[in-house]
Structure 1
Amino acid sequence: MYAKGQAVIGLMEELAPKSYAVQDDKIGLQLGTLSKEIRKVLVALDVTDEVVDEAIREQADLIIAHHAIIYRPLPHIQTDTPAGRLYEKLIKHDIAVYISHTNLDVADGGINDMMAEAIGLTDTEPLDEVHTDKLKKLIVYAPKEHADKIRQVMFDAGAGWIGDYSHCSFNIEGTGTYLPREGTHPYKGEQGKLQKADEVRIETIVPQSVERKVVQAMLKVHPYEEVAYDLFVLDLKTRTFGLGRAGKLDTPVTLQELCEKVKQAFDVPTLRVVGDPNRMIRKAAVLGGSGSRYVRHAQFRGAEVLVTGDIDYHTAHDALAAGIALIDPGHNVEKIMKQGVADYLEQKLAERKWTTAVVASQVNTEPFRFV
């Protein structure tokens, strides 16, 4: 059975919740509909004519991409312009386009973690904090005989963490009352008769990023036709998420050796480097995309080199003077997300017994050629 578009995107947003995106970022469904079955998903970095042609050949119904195809409000769609032709081709072939941008940069397991892992960084931390997960308290009333199962599915979905302690909850036993009206199908009792039930009030902590997942898991196993539960926002914070990653290298290497490792890890033929090639590097930072504004962030985190794209001339001079090395393999190294996201979605769809296929785009969207 194929997954519906909303279900596929639900899995994508478990990896990269929209709430993680920086303000005004152009993310989400940008073209088409998710109210259809998805036979195949194409994961791409950019949506170009060549990528759309690939989607047509692959008979993909949905493209999940990193870079937006619509950046600003459209005054019109003229099909004799490059952008207009692109939109027209997508619409004619009923291909939806969903964008996961800075939320995928920020997310655990997202682009920056993929980049950090690719060059062997450990004990990583964000360069620039952009999102702090809010905490909520979930209270649900459950029949005593179902309390253990309900608690467990909520914990499995991500509830109940306080610091390094998991499975945290508070439970009070009591008596619940309800009167089933006409048309109801009560778990216990009869229509028109007041029912008293032995219940447990379960309280637990839920990070906002997994709130929907936890609530859906709870509702799925709860036996009541109408579930009584409450969610309260707490004035507490949990994990902080951010752009970029800084971490330690397992083995110190020279800047020149790290350059070779970067070229291999990100499949780039050449790169630009700022700094002494013989300098020993023990701690490095990575940031997918354009990272000129984050050199100081990397240095503040103790990184001796920042691996990122789109370094400009003056930033390079400033970094040289400040004593931090730079490796610029280009913006396109974010292509690492294609296979990473495809593998993630393929696994999650298989776990749910959906037959929707996922493929990583094979189109090279690097606009620069090296001569």
Structure 2
Amino acid sequence: MTTLGEVVDLLHRWYPPATADSWDAVGLVLGDPGRSVRKVHFAVDPSPEVAEEAVAAKADLLVVHHPLFLKPVTSVAATTPKGRTLQTLATGGCALLTAHTNADQALSGVSESLALALGLTDLTPIIAAPAEPRDKFVVFVPTDAAAPVRAAMAEAGAGAIGDYDHCSFSAHGVGRFRPLPGADPAIGTVGDIAVVEEDRIEVVVPRRLRSAVLVAMRNAHPYEEPAFDIVELADAGEQSTGTGRIGTVPATTLAEFAQHVAGVLPATEHGVRVGGDPQRPVSRVAVCGGAGDFLLDRLAGSDVDVYLTSDLRHHPAAEFLEKNGPALIDVAHWAAESTWLPVVRQRLADALGDTVECTVSAVRTDPWTFRV
């Protein structure tokens, strides 16, 4: 049986809530972590129609990109759309989880999914996310006690690297020490030099977990006074997460690339709006899922040929184009972010196998319904 808590932990490992913007509201909104999950449904928006679809499909968890409660509310009565959404899910036994700005920046997140859907390669963030500060713990422990010490440190969060945990390195050696009067040695005798077969264990630890890992190590270590080092690691400068993505496409023109975008993204009444010379050569492309006008100043002087995003306003777009920098492509907000749904669906399906069914919403939640 797979529990809701296990699914949430997995999604939070891929899209850590701590990386969300301070104003955002992400994480588990509704549901008991102890309940079993057999079906997970994915959508961009937590609309009443999506909630009805999820319950009709007998989903145990609805994962959405946009928060249901981004602003404080005083009631969740079914007299409002948000209240109806929550009422429908609660009555149908379907939990709700939001991954918003934490999913925007991540690997296999919204901007990366958009870039890959459009065929971009050699991806890098427009703005790289700062790497989480890390330490390297080195501890020396008798060989026959090394396994429980490694395990205790791992359970406290040490040794997690990417999609792996319990990562460590061990080297064998000989430790020497002399217990002084007042000591209570686990090995050796007061006043005599002890020679002990020991392992040197090295693990990488997020700095925020330093205290927890240190306590776990001390509790599991047989020595009264363990020998250990804590080394603060420098930023390796290889961060692959962050805001937006820049990549390359085979040489084309702006008109041809815009036509390609229209063919890849779901059709909407918004369509694909383009600012720039149709014959402009295009090979280097920047994208940002969702509303990306906050990156215009950043990209104005860059070497990209075109910037694709959503919700561009008249004056910022006009002033950007006047600087003779990249061209602009403006696509529907929902269409751009919907490219993430099949990616996260497949990622969860691969991780959980046949134990959980994963599906993507067929409800189009783009607000525009027709054009006159």
Q: TM-score, normalised by structure 1?
A: 0.79
CA RMSD of superposed structures (Å): 3.6
Alpha carbons 2:159, 2:203 under 8 Å: kept? no
* Number of the residue aligned with 2:332: 330
How far residue 261 of structure 1 moved from its aligned partner, in angstroms, is 1.3
User: Which SS does the other structure have where 2:365 is aligned?
Assistant: coil
Alpha carbons 1:246, 1:301 under 8 Å: kept? no
Alpha carbons 1:283, 1:305 under 8 Å: kept? yes
**1:1-371 alignment, distance < 5 Å:** 2-139=1-138, 144=143, 157-158=160-161, 171=171, 173-174=173-174, 194=186, 198-206=197-205, 226=220, 234=232, 236-238=234-236, 239-240=238-239, 241-249=241-249, 251-269=250-268, 270-323=271-324, 324-332=326-334, 333-350=336-353, 355-371=355-371
Task: Say if 1:95 and 1:139 are closer, same or farther in 2 by CA, change over 3 A.
Answer: farther
Task: Say if 1:15 and 1:233 are closer, same or farther in 2 by CA, change over 3 A.
Answer: farther
Alpha carbons 1:158, 1:206 under 8 Å: kept? no
Q: Write the deviation string for residues 14-54 of structure 1: whole angstroms up to 9, x where unpaired.
A: 21112221222111112232221111111111111111111
How many equivalent residue pairs? 335
Distance 1:116 1:18 in 2: 22
Alpha carbons 1:141, 1:227 under 8 Å: kept? no
Distance 1:247 1:311 in 2: 21
Task: Say if 1:38 and 1:121 are closer, same or farther in 2 by CA, change over 3 A.
Answer: same
Amino acid paired to 2:350: Q
Task: Say if 1:38 and 1:296 are closer, same or farther in 2 by CA, change over 3 A.
Answer: same
Task: Say if 1:155 and 1:83 are closer, same or farther in 2 by CA, change over 3 A.
Answer: closer
Distance 1:140 1:108 in 2: 32
How far residue 130 of structure 1 moved from its aligned partner, in angstroms, is 4.2
Distance 1:205 1:300 in 2: 38
User: Which SS does the other structure have where 2:122 is aligned?
Assistant: strand
User: Which SS does the other structure have where 1:37 is aligned?
Assistant: coil
Distance 1:62 1:208 in 2: 32
How far residue 156 of structure 1 moved from its aligned partner, in angstroms, is 8.8
Q: Write the deviation string for residues 210-263 of structure 1: whole angstroms up to 9, x where unpaired.
A: x89xx8xxx9xx9xx9468989582632444321011222x1110011111111
Structure 2: any 5+ residue segments left out of the alignment?
Answer: 178-184, 189-195
Alpha carbons 2:122, 2:247 under 8 Å: kept? yes
Alpha carbons 1:138, 1:204 under 8 Å: kept? yes
Distance 2:231 2:45 in 1: 37
Amino acid paired to 1:274: G
Task: Say if 1:46 and 1:140 are closer, same or farther in 2 by CA, change over 3 A.
Answer: farther
Distance 1:286 1:19 in 2: 23
Distance 1:155 1:83 in 2: 40
Task: Say if 1:293 and 1:59 are closer, same or farther in 2 by CA, change over 3 A.
Answer: same
User: Which SS does the other structure have where 2:339 is aligned?
Assistant: helix
Alpha carbons 1:127, 1:301 under 8 Å: kept? no
How far residue 280 of structure 1 moved from its aligned partner, in angstroms, is 0.6
User: Which SS does the other structure have where 1:277 is aligned?
Assistant: coil
User: Which SS does the other structure have where 2:303 is aligned?
Assistant: coil
Alpha carbons 2:159, 2:204 under 8 Å: kept? no
User: Which SS does the other structure have where 2:33 is aligned?
Assistant: coil
How far residue 175 of structure 1 moved from its aligned partner, in angstroms, is 5.5
Amino acid paired to 1:280: P
Larger relative contact order (CA 8 Å, sep ≥ 6): 1
Q: TM-score, normalised by structure 2?
A: 0.79
Task: Say if 1:208 and 1:361 are closer, same or farther in 2 by CA, change over 3 A.
Answer: farther
User: Which SS does the other structure have where 1:204 is aligned?
Assistant: strand
Amino acid paired to 1:341: V
- Matched residues, percent identical? 29
Distance 2:206 2:255 in 1: 42
Alpha carbons 2:168, 2:201 under 8 Å: kept? no
User: Which SS does the other structure have where 1:38 is aligned?
Assistant: coil
How far residue 314 of structure 1 moved from its aligned partner, in angstroms, is 0.7
